[in-house]
Amino acid sequence: MKNFFTAFLGSCLGVVAVFAFGFFILFAMGISGAMNKETYSKNTVLRLHLEDFIPEKTDNIAQDANIFTGAKESLGLRRILKLLEAAANDDKIKGILIENQSVSMGQATLLSLMDGLQQFRESGKFIYSYADAHTQSSYFLCSVADSMFINPRGGVDLKGYGAAIPFFKNMLDKIGVDMNIFYAGNFKSATEPFRLTEMSEFNKLQTREFLTDMETIMVERLAANRKLSKEKIHAIMSGLEGRTGQKALENGLVDGLMYRDEIEDFMAKKLGLKEKQKVKYLSLAKYDQMADVESKDGKDKIAVVHAEGEIIYGNDEPGIISEKRYLNMLAKIRKDDKIKAVVLRVNSPGGNAVTSDMIWRELEKIKEAGKPVIASFGDYAASGGYYIAAGADTIVAQPNTLTGSIGVFMMFPNATKLMNEKLGINFDTIKTHEFATGFSPFNNLSDKEKALLQESTLEIYDLFIDRVSKGRKLSVDSTKSIAQGRVWTGKKGLEIGLVDVLGDLDDAIVIAAKKAGTEKYKVVEYPFLKDDFIANLIREVQKSQGNDEDASFLSLTAEEKKLWHYYTTVKSILRCKEPNARLPFIFDFN
């Protein structure tokens, strides 16, 4: 017993010591930060690395933080745009250097950043870009620069849009797993990889159309930014005419071929620095700690609710939409008299149908309380992501937002062949009632069980159609004609009535303020994120070491990230034993 108490007290003291040490470090960092807040001077250049995933709201992303991988702070899209706006009005910031080779953001996010950078240029300050080589989306983003430079041994991978979707049916057949699949909507293609070996004609049609829309948007922007004809850009994409640095230069894709030391000399000359003087760079992460980001002030508030990530029942992680987090949050917003309007910022491929309906209902109650609800769409507002926004007073989307996908599916694995023939395991059952053992993957579904599951799927689909029909003020027949699980771009969504206005989040906020009849207001963003002590501690230690880019010690390669992306997507779809309203795959636009 004595040894027990000794060990117990030792453990407690150890824990207390660790936390005390942690608080001491944070306190010291806070004092250090306060003493060194003003660390940049005139002729500073903002250096942007925009290759990592950018959430809608800062740090609203599920991520692990530990001693080895670090605790990375992920600046949100809205925050980055506000920082660009602040930099445009900051006399100490002379310009921007974008150093990108690839990006991990969606296409609508990319357009929003391009617009923010364009507004920065309109202030009269310069923007240059440098890369060893560009992926297509990285080049698209950086094309807003005054001049673009790449490594002489680099190139520009400008080739148009395509989709490569993996199919798993043959693999499932080999291991002895059949998928019981129930769906509503000919275009609802999320289940195709598990029941077909290639894309259906419906899926080919919708995919080809939205990829063509996206390509049109990209070509128009590139033509304006690079002063190239659309025909020239199509010719470049058809022949991969940017595949080497020299070809990219000859075809007008870039303005110069430089090694990294040469871009430094170029920047120094641009700033009029003397010989051996170095360019003073400031990262976006550091500027975030120092910038004076102005926000409107007033007694009235407009709530921006970020509905970001997959819709999952019962989950409470950052970057996930669930009733567990959102219902109480929306109820508090409804009861707050200072909040005059709500902007629902949706960036979601959808997910659980029940959770989607619960969030839809809470937003309807906000409207009943007399507060306008405006929806703003990011990269995706599809399926369940569209469901929760269907009743909004106004829907705002980017032209290349992927939206719609109004359909429902459910999948249930049948592993009897795997268990019986491959592993030699079989199950026997005794039941007092027909459905007493539930829908088990270890027993074949009866015809009656299959009929019940299909009936549940169709019921949710009919409800989805009804929500959209009433919210969009369309007839049921009109809604059905644009539903069927079909994916549309925001541009096409405007034409068919799924979208009211093409624009960004700021446009939606302006519309919300106008509908609420308020001119002086401040924007309050939800959800509020809980501080992670350990993550903050590690982040502060990294910053104290000058690691303002928060690079991870153990980072995944681009190919590893792609494989992980496929794994998590398939995993989320295989979870769909209940009715789901979800986009098939998050497309990789390279």
Q: Which residues are identified as catalytic?
A: 188, 383
Q: What is the 3-state secondary structure (H, E, C) of 303-322?
A: EEEEEECCECCCCCCCCCEC
Q: What backbone phi and psi angles, to 5 degrees, belong to 352? A: -60, 125
Instruction: Please spell the DSSP secondary structure of 300-369, one letter per residue.
Output: EEEEEEEEES-B-TT---TT-B-HHHHHHHHHHHHH-TTEEEEEEEEEE-EEEHHHHHHHHHHHHHHHHT
Per DSSP, the chain holds a count of helices (H) and strands (E) of 21, 18
Q: Whose structure tokens read 């390669």?
A: 557
Which residues are within 8 A (CB) of 316 and not within 5 positions of it... i.e. 6 or more apart? 322, 324, 325
- Reply yes or no: is the peptide bond before residue 527 cis, omega within 30 of 0: yes
CA distance 545 to 333: 40
Q: DSSP labels for 175-220?
A: HT-EEEEEEE-TT-GGGHHHH-SS--HHHHHHHHHHHHHHHHHHHH
Q: Which residue has the tokens 């990889």?
A: 193
- Please give the structure tokens belonging to residue 449: 């069980």
What is the C-alpha to C-alpha distance for residues 272 and 95, in angstroms, rounded to an integer? 13
**Contacts (Cβ under 8 Å, ≥6 apart) of 298:** 518, 519, 520, 521, 522
Collapsing DSSP to helix, strand or coil, 392 comes out as: coil
Angle between helices 323-335 and 353-368 (to 10 degrees): 0
CA 312 to CA 351: how far, in whole Å?
Answer: 6
Q: Which residues are within 8 A (CB) of 128 and not within 5 positions of it... i.e. 6 or more apart?
A: 95, 96, 97, 98, 145, 146, 147, 148, 149, 263, 266, 267, 270
CA dist 106 and 116 (Å) reads: 16
Characterize the bridge pairing of strands 178-184 and 408-414: antiparallel
